[in-house]
Amino acid sequence: MTPKPEVTGFYDQRTGSIQYVVADPETRTCVIIDPVLDYDEKSAATATAHADTILKFITGRGYEVEWILDTHPHADHFTAAAYLKEKTGAPTAIGERVIDVQKLWKGFYNWPDFRADGSQWDKLFANGETFKVGNIPASVMFSPGHTLASITYVIGDAAFVHDTLFMPDSGTARADFPGGSATQLWKSIQDILALPDETRIFTGHDYRPGGREPLWESTVAEQKAKNIHMSVHKTEAEFVAAREARDKTLPMPKLILHALQINTNAGRLPAPEDNGRRYLKIPMNLLEGAAWGG
């Protein structure tokens, strides 16, 4: 029998993100996956309400945090990894290809002194690398396509795929960000769908089509049978054509230029300047060709 971790999702309505606490009930140890640092783009204010809710949950369950894990540098929210490391002392980790994303965005932000070597995290996972959550075996699958650095964490019978697959009624992730590739996304999804049919699939976002309640858990079998993209587009060529056509109609996430400068730095906010104030840096006309939002 494949071990079954206890998975608790925390939904952020503001960004449609799901954050996870994944625990081994036997050892009372857990990992946190893709935590959100609250950010209001209108006022440029930050807060820790979502991260504090997770900490309160973990304390209430009597868990010990082993890892703070991100699946990739997010484009639509700030990661709370640095804040949670400060609060728990647990190490942070991400996939080793984050270095490629750092090098790309270092140029975009014109940051000559930025360390694009992944050293902002305590651990960079390689494709196929294994670790444990308590006594539950875990492994890392490289899942590029949505970004250069995207990975899937497989922990016992649960796979955390973030922006690779959505719930079956929502399809698949976009692949038009800098470094994205619909061809790579197809191949990554094939790897995920090659996991055992009963594997639980946990997504990183849910945008509630039709106004339904938020959902974030399915199975490999459900994704193969019902995913509105994967059950229809049966070949790589069909999928890539449909994905690229869809992506051309999508405006960029409203926080992409805000978030990447935080998330390529493992969730650290910019250092205060001589007046004690922190500043974000927004490159203008970088993402040319993207559809404009309303």
pLDDT tens per residue, range 209-239: 999 999 999 999 999 999 999 999 999 999 9
CATH 3.60.15.10 fits 6-259, yes or no: yes
- pTM above threshold 0.75: yes
pLDDT of residue 293: 78
> What does DSSP say about strands 78-79 and 45-47: parallel, antiparallel, or unpaired?
unpaired
Question: Which residue stretches of the chain have pLDDT < 70?
Answer: 294
CB atoms inside a 10 Å sphere around CB 234? 9
* Rounded-to-integer distance, Cα 142 and Cα 100, Å: 13
pLDDT of residue 289: 84
- Cα-Cα-Cα-Cα dihedral of 127, 129, 133, 135, to 10°? 140
Would you kindly state where each structural domain of the chain is located, as residue ranges? 6-259
For 94-103, write each residue's pLDDT tens digit: 999 999 999 9
C-alpha 118, offset from chain centre: 16
The closest of 244, 235, 228 to 170, measured between CA atoms, is 228
Q: What element of type H or E holds 102?
A: helix 98-108
pLDDT of residue 211: 94
pLDDT of residue 294: 66
* Rounded-to-integer distance, Cα 141 and Cα 197, Å: 17
